[in-house]
């Protein structure tokens, strides 16, 4: 009964109701699409971090990352093949990537630059680390003497695909060692830290340069990153002297700080949008309620309490908010399937130097959140608009001319 009365009240002035619905639809669609944009942006950030350098996370010996060691190789992992086999048996772990990172001088014969390199399994990593974004040549695969350089490092040394370079480094025993390599690829991740001073060579070559059979760390590729807590717990149980660290911690400056920033930004934008929606509903509801002052006075004269009238007005606001929100959600879904279906390019974000493509990623949970927030705004705006009339005495309300 109350629902029917509220619906009839909304249909009484179709033009005013249409304006209210349009205001609400714009607010709901703005909330929905901005949430989808944020999600798409964060997923691109995650994909770039996971598939460019870190994997879903990595394992080291316990406490290795938190300490500055005089001889870090003493804390590297021995017998890595056994560890790799055990890791692959953990549910959720699909790929394992042993790595050895070290400092070296990269020389083109006339000029040398200090840099950091990593020994990898080129064949295993070439398919998983696909956002490394090779801009010339190819990713490191099976080439035994191949080296892949960051774009900034290659530019500084005037190197191109096919150039020969020499790596000079100290072994774990303190002796100088070196080897010649052929440039097979140049990459551009967008992170200056990687692009200006980073290179990749095959893991056996890195171990030979460092004169060791150990590995420093093992990056993991999971079936789903949401499985990380279970995987980390399994690693700790099987290997008490090894710790697992998710990529969010490893890449706090680039990824996690960006997540925190964008989430805080969304909270502020959400507040602004809801404030505008509440004001819009308040303005239109105030006009409608002032016109119905006599009607409200008659309802009270007939025995209806103030709380019952507020329920009626709040229900009107919520019905209007629901219809407007539903309209806004439909419009956003339609736009995302047409104009925005191919995504769009974003300018370089914090910490990166190249543009990237992102998509509006919509989920039903986001639609529910947008509808819920707009319903709350509709109820609040309507109740605020009704307060002035509700406070009038019955005789004063009956004397008002709509």
pLDDT along the chain (402 residues), means of 10: 66 76 88 89 85 91 86 92 94 96 94 94 90 89 94 94 95 94 91 86 96 96 93 93 92 79 86 84 77 78 82 84 91 91 76 72 89 88 81 74 55
Shared domain check, 345 and 235: no
Shared domain check, 233 and 177: yes
Buried b (16+ CB within 10 A) or exposed e, 299-337: bbeeeeeeeebbebbbbbbbbbbbbbbbbbbebbbeebe
Q: End of a domain among 210, 240, 270?
A: 240
Shared domain check, 122 and 23: no
Q: End of a domain among 216, 240, 264?
A: 240
Q: Decide if 248 is inside a domain.
A: no
Q: Decide if 250 is inside a domain.
A: no
Q: Decide if 366 is inside a domain.
A: yes
Shared domain check, 191 and 276: no
Long-range residue pairs from 109-117, CB within 8 A, at least 24 positions apart, any chain? 109/164, 109/166, 111/157, 112/168, 113/153, 113/156, 113/157, 113/197, 114/197, 115/153, 115/197, 115/198, 115/199, 116/197, 116/198, 116/199, 117/167, 117/198, 117/199, 117/200, 117/201, 117/206
Shared domain check, 287 and 152: no
Q: Could you tell me the residue range of the domain that residue 133 belongs to?
A: 63-240
**pLDDT number for residue 210:** 96
Question: Over 52-120, what HEC string results?
Answer: HHHCCEEEEECCCCCCCCCCHHHHCECCHHHHHHHHCCCCCEEEEEEEEEEEEEEECCCCEEEEEEEEE
**pLDDT number for residue 150:** 93
Shared domain check, 100 and 194: yes
**pLDDT number for residue 112:** 92
**pLDDT number for residue 354:** 65
Shared domain check, 202 and 118: yes
Shared domain check, 329 and 228: no
Domain count, the chain: 2
Shared domain check, 382 and 327: yes
Q: Decide if 57 is inside a domain.
A: no
Shared domain check, 93 and 172: yes
Shared domain check, 356 and 284: yes
**Does residue 337 contact residue 359 with C-beta atoms inside 8 Å?**
no
Q: Decide if 111 is inside a domain.
A: yes
Q: Decide if 55 is inside a domain.
A: no
**pLDDT number for residue 380:** 86
Q: Decide if 175 is inside a domain.
A: yes
**pLDDT number for residue 402:** 53
Q: Decide if 342 is inside a domain.
A: yes
Q: End of a domain among 240, 266, 285?
A: 240
**Does residue 184 contact residue 140 with C-beta atoms inside 8 Å?**
yes
Shared domain check, 192 and 67: yes
């Amino acid at each position: 009964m109350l629902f029917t009365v509220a619906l009839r009240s909304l249909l009484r002035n179709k033009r005013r109701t249409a304006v209210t619905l349009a205001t609400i639809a714009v607010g709901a669609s703005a909330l929905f699409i901005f949430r989808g944009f944020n999600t798409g942006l964060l997923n691109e950030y995650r994909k770039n971090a996971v598939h460019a350098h870190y994997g879903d996370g990595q394992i080291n010996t316990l406490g290795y990352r938190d300490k500055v060691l005089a001889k870090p190789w003493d804390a590297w992992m021995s017998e890595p093949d056994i560890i790799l086999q055990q890791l692959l048996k953990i549910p959720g772990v699909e790929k394992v990537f042993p790595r050895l990172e070290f400092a070296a001088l990269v020389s083109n014969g006339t000029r040398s630059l200090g840099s950091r390199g990593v020994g990898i399994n080129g064949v295993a990593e070439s398919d998983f680390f696909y956002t490394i974004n090779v801009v010339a040549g190819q990713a490191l695969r099976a080439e035994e003497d191949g080296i892949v350089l960051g774009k900034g490092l290659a530019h500084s040394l005037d190197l191109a695909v096919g150039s020969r370079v020499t790596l000079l480094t100290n072994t774990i025993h303190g002796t100088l060692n070196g080897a010649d390599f052929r440039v097979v690829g140049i990459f551009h991740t967008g992170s200056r830290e990687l692009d200006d001073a980073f290179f990749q060579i095959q893991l056996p070559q890195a171990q030979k340069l460092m004169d060791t059979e150990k590995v420093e760390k093992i990056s993991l590729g999971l079936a789903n990153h949401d499985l990380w807590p279970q995987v980390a717990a399994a690693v700790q149980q099987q290997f008490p002297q090894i710790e697992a660290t998710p990529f969010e911690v490893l890449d706090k400056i680039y990824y996690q700080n960006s997540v925190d920033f964008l989430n805080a930004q969304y909270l502020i934008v959400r507040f602004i949008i809801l404030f505008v929606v509440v004001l819009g509903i308040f303005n239109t509801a105030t006009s409608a309620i002032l016109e119905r002052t006599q009607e409200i006075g008659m309802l009270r004269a007939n025995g209806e309490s103030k709380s019952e009238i507020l329920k009626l007005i709040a229900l009107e606001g919520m019905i209007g908010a629901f219809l407007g929100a539903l309209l806004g959600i439909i419009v956003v879904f339609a736009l995302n399937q047409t104009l925005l279906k191919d995504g769009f390019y974003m300018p370089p974000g914090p910490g990166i130097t190249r543009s990237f493509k992102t998509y509006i990623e919509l989920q039903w949970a986001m639609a529910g959140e947008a509808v819920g927030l707009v319903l709350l705004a509709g109820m609040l705006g309507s109740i605020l608009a009704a307060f002035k009339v509700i406070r009038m005495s019955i005789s004063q309300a009956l004397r008002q001319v709509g």
